[in-house]
Amino acid sequence: MKIYETRTAPNPRRVRMFLAEKGIDVDYVQVDIQKGENLSAQMRAKNPLGKIPILELDDGTCIAETDAICTYFEALHPSPSLMGETALEKGVISMWQRQVELALMLQVGMCFQHTTGYFKDRMVPVPEYGKEAGINASKYFNILERRLSVTPFIAGDSFSIADITALCAIDFARVVGIRIKDEQENLRRWYDNVSSRESAKA
């Protein structure tokens, strides 16, 4: 199997960090998204949305979407659990994972795409919307600060996929000038803790 990815992009980092936590080695194939290599007919046959990362199995079956790739490996290698073992754990982790994705990672991504024009060859940037997306992302930092004042990790007592998503989103947010504020002490403590994991270098 192999994973098509772009080393510097935030979503592939989520997959690498997830696999590092589980001790799984996979071959990676680099795709230059700035040059649009992900939009070729060959890549669209693997993922009709033309995005990376994509996991390609040895029989040619492709699984795109970061969360779906992680879901596949969580089922194959359940230990250590990063998506929950009981129904309650699975539900709570899935909620935080989804909210971090939609209210933070996606907002940072939209801010980046719509304010920088990085992909203007393939989409219509709307800077006013990009600015709103950046404001949304900043607001979610406040929600995380409150959450991390009562739990050590985002989904509760244990490290989970939601922490991986949040770390990668927060690191990516620096590109659009959004950073943890001095008064967000719980978020800073969590950030320093999660950043120090060996998997964060993956």
Q: Tokens 């990362």 — which residue?
A: 53
Nearer to a copy of itself, 29 or 57 (CB): 57
Is 166:84 a contact under the CB 8 Å cutoff?
A: no
> In angstroms, what is the minimal distance from the CB of 90 to a copy of itself?
5
What's the CA gap between 123 and 80, in Å, rounded? Answer: 39
The site for a copy of itself (CB under 8 A) is made up of: 48-49, 55, 57, 61, 63-65, 67-69, 71-73, 75-76, 86-88, 90-92, 94-95, 97-99, 102-103, 106, 114, 123-124, 126, 128-129, 132, 143, 146-147
> In angstroms, what is the minimal distance from the CB of 124 to a copy of itself?
5
Nearer to a copy of itself, 132 or 197 (CB): 132
Nearer to a copy of itself, 41 or 196 (CB): 41
Nearer to a copy of itself, 124 or 198 (CB): 124
What's the CA gap between 165 and 99, in Å, rounded? Answer: 10
> In angstroms, what is the minimal distance from the CB of 12 to a copy of itself?
15
Nearer to a copy of itself, 37 or 65 (CB): 65
Concatenate the DSSP letters of all residues of 53-115 into one string: -EEE-TTS-EEESHHHHHHHHHHH--SS-SS-SSHHHHHHHHHHHHHHIIIIIHHHHHHHHHH
Q: In what order do the strands lie in the sheet with 54-56?
A: 27-30, 2-5, 54-56, 62-64
> In angstroms, what is the minimal distance from the CB of 86 to a copy of itself?
7
The two structure tokens encoding residue 61: 């079956």
> In angstroms, what is the minimal distance from the CB of 84 to a copy of itself?
8
What's the CA gap between 197 and 43, in Å, rounded? Answer: 33
CA distances from 15 to 20, 84, 89 (A): 9, 17, 21
> In angstroms, what is the minimal distance from the CB of 201 to a copy of itself?
26
Nearer to a copy of itself, 16 or 147 (CB): 147
